[in-house]
Amino acid sequence: MSRVIKFRAWDEGAHAFMKLTSIGNGFQSHIAGTILEQFTGLLDKNGKEIYEGDVVSITSEDNTSKSVAVQFAAEYGGFVWDEDKLFGGEYLMSFSQWPYDYVVVGNIHENPDLLK
């Protein structure tokens, strides 16, 4: 099964996601106030697509929930969240390793307060 490659773009000047019709050669992730974020290939428990920069509520085995930001980590070759900010771990963890529910509750641009 192949993974769908999609992106979204945050316009820092307009404080809004902009419609992304194509990505030309040499497009960088940060160009003139635009932040490009990649689709992880994963859906949350409600079927919503999860992108870099999304804030996701993660449920632990004891049924507590906390919010983390999705990020890409080249050293892990995938999308991760910082477990240290969550349940006292000391490393980045892949979404594919997490056996419990996660739900997109916002994104780092429009909802930074969700990470506090």
pLDDT: is 64 or 88 the higher one? 64
What is the predicted pLDDT for the residue at 95? 65
Do residues 38 and 84 touch, judged by C-beta distance below 8 A?
no
Query: Can you list the domains of the chain with their CATH numbers?
Result: 7-115 (2.30.30.290)
- DSSP 8-class letter at 7: E
Nearest to 48 by CA among 20, 70, 23: 70
Model confidence over 9-29: pLDDT tens digits? 999 999 999 887 777 665 555
DSSP assignment of the chain, as one string? Answer: -PPP--EEEEETTTTEEE------TT--SEETTEEEEEEEEEE-TTS-EEETTEEEEEE-TTS-EEEEE-EEETTTTEEEEEGGGTTS--SEEEGGG--S-EEEEEETTT-GGGG-
63 confidence band (pLDDT: 50, 70, 90): confident
Q: Could you give the C-alpha distances from 86 to 20, 58, 81, 105, in angstroms and in order?
A: 32, 8, 9, 15
What is the predicted pLDDT for the residue at 111? 93
What is the predicted pLDDT for the residue at 94? 66
User: Given a cut of 60, is residue 61 above it in pLDDT?
Assistant: yes
